[in-house]
């Protein structure tokens, strides 16, 4: 952390290479970064969110990669039946955030896939109902080594429907406390 401060680093995103909350030192790292006036963002799958660990709420933002609007789709995409647990973890974190005075922004993150393309609106509704500050959607794409698989092939109907679902979500849920972002 000292080197980051010396280099003039303004912000750090803790993500990638696996689930950062599996490392028991992640909250300690957040503490040290914040103590050195470095803004912190955290991307997590939400399973290991511990609302009781107030150090997480020192982050400027936390993005939870959910990528589904229903537990059935979550199971298809992720292969595990933990959708309800993750929504509960997020809701508990938001309640503690709200009572603590933290300004940490909590975001429901959604990579658009052909499997979940038609439930974007439901995911926006989930994000709003559990108290997230933002909903972020962006299309996924095959990684370079999977290009032959065509996993992220969107049909014409999906391509037309996706912006409509985002707009419906904005119209029905967006306000000064909740924003919907999509690419």
d(CA 42, CA 171): 28
pLDDT in tens, 10-45: 999 999 778 999 998 999 999 999 999 999 999 999
- Supply the pTM of this predicted model: 0.91
Sign of the Cα pseudo-torsion (73, 75, 76, 78, in order): positive
CA dist list (Å): 53 to 21, 27, 90, 171: 11, 8, 13, 35
pLDDT 10s digits, 76-108: 999 999 999 999 999 999 999 999 999 999 999
- Residues 40 and 58: beta-carbon distance below 8 Å: yes
Region 136-165: mean pLDDT is 80
């Amino acid at each position: 952390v000292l080197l980051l401060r010396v280099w003039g680093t303004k912000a750090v995103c803790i993500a990638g290479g696996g689930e950062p909350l599996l490392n028991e030192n992640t909250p300690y790292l957040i503490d040290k970064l914040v103590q050195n006036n470095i803004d912190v963002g955290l991307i997590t799958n939400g399973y290991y969110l511990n609302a009781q660990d107030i150090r997480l709420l020192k982050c400027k933002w936390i993005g939870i990669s959910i990528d589904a609007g229903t537990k059935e789709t979550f199971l298809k995409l992720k292969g595990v039946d933990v959708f309800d647990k993750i929504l509960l973890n997020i809701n508990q974190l938001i309640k503690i955030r709200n009572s603590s005075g933290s300004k940490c922004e909590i975001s429901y993150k959604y990579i658009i896939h052909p499997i979940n393309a038609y439930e974007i609106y439901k995911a926006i509704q989930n994000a709003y109902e559990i108290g997230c500050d933002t909903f972020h959607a962006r299309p996924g794409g095959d990684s370079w080594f999977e290009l032959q698989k065509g996993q992220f092939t969107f049909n014409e109907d999906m391509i037309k429907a996706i912006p409509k679902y985002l707009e419906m979500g904005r119209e029905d849920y967006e306000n000064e406390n909740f924003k919907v972002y999509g690419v």
